[in-house]
Structure 1
Amino acid sequence: MFKKTLKATALLSSLAIMVGMAKPINVDAATTYVMATGSVNVRTGASTKYKSIDKLKKGKVAKVLSSKNGWYRVQLSGNETGWSSKKYLTTTNATVKSNVNVRTGASKKYRVVDKLSKGEKVKVLSSSGDWHKVQFDGDETGWSHEDYINKTSSSNSSGSSMNVAKKLTVKAYAYTGGGYTATGTKAKYGTLAVDPKVIPYGTKVYIKELDKVFTAEDCGGGIKGNKVDIYMNSQSACRNWGVRTITLQILK
């Protein structure tokens, strides 16, 4: 298996968090973004008894920092944060209508950094005029024109609409480095390294934290039993993911 695993870094990050030396890192690859379905109050705490300090206008997209008792703590402008009820917020998803360039800014004058393919799923993070800032391939972001992005809203990103055979709790690592997998495919975002005795090669696996279906097509010496390795596009994405205990949804 040709890859570069960053488990040592993940272990150091975990230890630092345990002793209070590191702050939690919010990254696009594992962050939820929500959109207001109407004018929504933002409060100082997770209840209507708390004072309203701001409002999210209908269609406004915000980053979720944490959740509690049916409420989201969201990022407002700058470093300001507050709490809004989940009842009035939906996760924001989109599908690419046709092949489209991804740029560094909200205009054709900005440099093209990637290209999205027709049918590819992305998340809309924010908007500026006729342009959307989108998240794709896990941790990558950029700007594409709204004419090529079919934006939808969904209050359910748990994969419940998929045909789930079973759920499996695993310890999930992250790796990168390119190359080819144990099954001969090119390693890419969407590749999952598994113990084939637990998850057979070719199995489709939905990972809620990344809102993406992965394919079990790689393995590794340290990936035994209920462990998986998620292919990421960069070392920074691997470090931000670290090591997590998650529940996989094994699809039929």
Structure 2
Amino acid sequence: METTFSKKVKQWTLGLAVATFGVTTMAMPSESLVAEAASVKKYETTDALNLRTGASVKNKRILTIPKGGVVQYVSSHNGWYKVKYEGKTGYASAKYLKRVGSTMKKGSTSSIASSQYIKKTMDVEVTAYTFNHGANITASGRKLQVGYTAAPREIPFGSIVDIPSIEKQLGVKQLTVYDRGGAIKRLGTNKIRIDVAFPSYAQAIKFGRKTYKNVPVYVKR
């Protein structure tokens, strides 16, 4: 019979991070969590944005999403997106929403880098981590998503690490810094270690640990 003490020990044990072959994970993710991470579209608000009951400014306001809030896309309706935010479903103007991970568009990196980022070139050692049964809040306060990455503290949240060759394994090539980690640090004058969120433990294990040379890192101003 399981005692109260043994239950507490089990709960405490599940909270421990395990590092294996460069992979940090808290537990195996549920199938639904993996599916959500792999397929759901996420958008970020570019300004404070009202969530309404219908696709018009005439419809009742449900709540106001703060600037930088991340919503889950459901469908499109004549310039409005039906989205989910903090348990509420409603409509928001597409004009004030940008796709998460789409900031750096092909052909526009130089203009974005000059206005919002400082471009640096670094060698980057990449390890992988995955989800923890709902306890997926990053150091930035955001819910963990595929393509989010932990980086050293001198690289601000919102910075972008651009590794096109990682797209085959991950589905995205531009990694956004929204997390931190004890082993995530600078490894030399021009080399850093980052930890990238993968949708499953198996994918993280398969990726292992890789080093990329001369990687563009767009450091958020």
Smaller-chain TM-score bracket:
0.3 to 0.5
TM-score, length-scaled by structure 2:
0.42
More helix by share: 2
Q: Which structure has greater strand proportion?
A: 1
Higher relative contact order (CA 8 A, sep 6+): 2
